[in-house]
Amino acid sequence: MHASFHFYDYQSLAVTSMTLQLTLSFSLCHVSGLSLNMAHKLVQVTLCLWVFTSLLLPSPTAGLYRVSLKKQRLNLNRFKAARIAMSGGGMLHNYGSSDGEVIPLKNYMDAQYYGVIAIGSPPQNFTVLFDTGSSNLWVPSSKCYFSIACYFHSKYKSSRSSTYTKIGKPCEINYGSGSISGFFSQDNVEVGGVVVRDQVFVEATREGSFPTFVLAKFDGILGLGFQEISVGNATPVWYNMLNQDVVREDVFSFWLNRDPSANEGGELVFGGVDPKHYKGKHTYVPVTRKGYWQFDMGDFLIGNNSTGVCEGGCAAIVDSGTSLLAGPTAVVTEINHAIGAEGVVSAECKEVVSQYGDLIWELLVSGVQPDKVCTQIGLCVLNGTRYMSSGIKTVVEKENMEGLSAGDQLLCTTCQMTVFWIQSQLKQKGTKDTVLNYVNELCQSLPSPMGESVIDCARISLMPDITFIIGDKPFKLTPDQYIVKMGEGITTVCVSGFMALDVSPPRGPLWILGDVFMGVYHTVFDYGNLEIGFAEAA
């Protein structure tokens, strides 16, 4: 509250100062005008108008509130752990579940960018991850006694805050590879120099002992997603900033510094955009579904070739809570093959190609619909009846696969990917032998269940560009931008920035655009117009 008064006092002083300047400028212009001849009066009037305009119009960065972001260098062991957690169902595993409830299930071990906020009066500082993929604010509580993670991070002490209000309602936030639980409280929260009054947040009394929160550089998470995915329907911090009129525009924006040697990791700006953070103009696309910052993405290209997976459109989410790019397994496998990423040699995949490749080719050439091929050759069977796949590039939902053994499920899914790859090559007029050899090579590039995708750093210059079509415009990532480098000098390890994530229709296929993408393209989150904007980052 004390900080709030300082904020408003500063505004009053600024207004008073502007009034005095306007009065003085008008007096000078008026007196000077009387002493000049008519030839000079036009110049004087022009000068006066320029003075008034300069004083009345705010600068492009006036009214913006900034949070300086720190950047953590990725560590190979943490990176692999993040990928293992994700492959085990950590990230958005139940995205768009059948009961309609959308809960942000994520993994944060690979998070890189975070900043400082303060809670309470006097303020207690916390380092938080600003996450557009979730909507709650939580920090460790002083009442967290039995979780190892709490002993490594700052804890909120309600007894030391004069603006604290008890709520006490228990809650739990699931993150796939673990969860945090605690209770709701209310207090003032300072973000970027502005105080948000009476903010409801979670005091975490238990954090999963898995490495995510134990090793994390941040204490808690501040969600910037929509209230639709807020656990307990708590009003997000961003909503309260708008409700309390503390920002000029209903917009916030991220600039992530890609210079690994820079001290500044980037900047999160509330209330608008900083022109110094980007080049050219933003391309805006509408938010298609509130919850996550989700939009429709067009085609996806490897080099100059379409993968075909998003020709009919794909859902995509911009997520500042992950450093990676995630997409359908079939496409990530093609990327791995193109860049020479090492994966697990899939015996099942090669078996499908060797035994059924010719038949799949003939069925596709004869005009059989791709989503019916695997049912016709008997690799997708459900309770004695043919299983009709809803898309060769999707993972069959669990409730629809209960009649299949694990091996049958794997063969069915592998067949669907094989059909997709062959169909994609058919469009490029490849011969049967050439196509089947290529598909056999793709089997070796299937993403490893353990997440290994280390590549030869010397080959980066030979790798293809990857292009996302957004708003009918190409957004290209060069190999230097989508390959993640860890370590320095002779210890440098290069890892693919792409991970596999399969989401069934109607919510999928789905792409997650994390910090790898946001570092290249300055991102604007326009809540007022429900749009997301991308421009080349400065």
Active site residues: 131, 319
- E-strand ranges in 176-297 read 179-191, 194-207, 220-223, 251-256, 266-270, 278-286, 294-297
Say if residues 504 and 397 touch (Cβ distance below 8 Å).
yes
Distance of alpha carbon 234 from alpha carbon 84, whole angstroms: 31
Say if residues 139 and 219 touch (Cβ distance below 8 Å).
yes
Q: Which two tokens stand for residue 360?
A: 């799949």
* 358 φψ region: left (φ > 0), alpha (ψ -120 to 50), beta (else): alpha
The CB-side HSE value for 239 (13 A sphere, CA atoms) comes to 17
Query: Shortest CA distance to 520 belongs to which of 291, 236, 353, 325?
Result: 325
Encoded amino acid at 381, one letter: V
If one counts every other C-beta atom within 10 angstroms of the C-beta of residue 22, the result is: 14
- E-strand ranges in 208-339 read 220-223, 251-256, 266-270, 278-286, 294-297, 300-302, 305-306, 314-318, 325-327
Q: Which two tokens stand for residue 97?
A: 């579940």
What separation, in Å, do the N-terminal and C-terminal C-alpha atoms of the chain show?
36
Say if residues 495 and 79 touch (Cβ distance below 8 Å).
yes
- Collapsing DSSP to helix, strand or coil, 521 comes out as strand
The residue with tokens 């500063």 is: 10
DSSP 464: P
173 phi, psi to nearest 5 deg: -115, 120
Distance of alpha carbon 364 from alpha carbon 308, whole angstroms: 15
Q: Which two tokens stand for residue 519?
A: 């570092």
Query: Shortest CA distance to 29 belongs to which of 52, 56, 48?
Result: 48
Say if residues 525 and 224 touch (Cβ distance below 8 Å).
yes
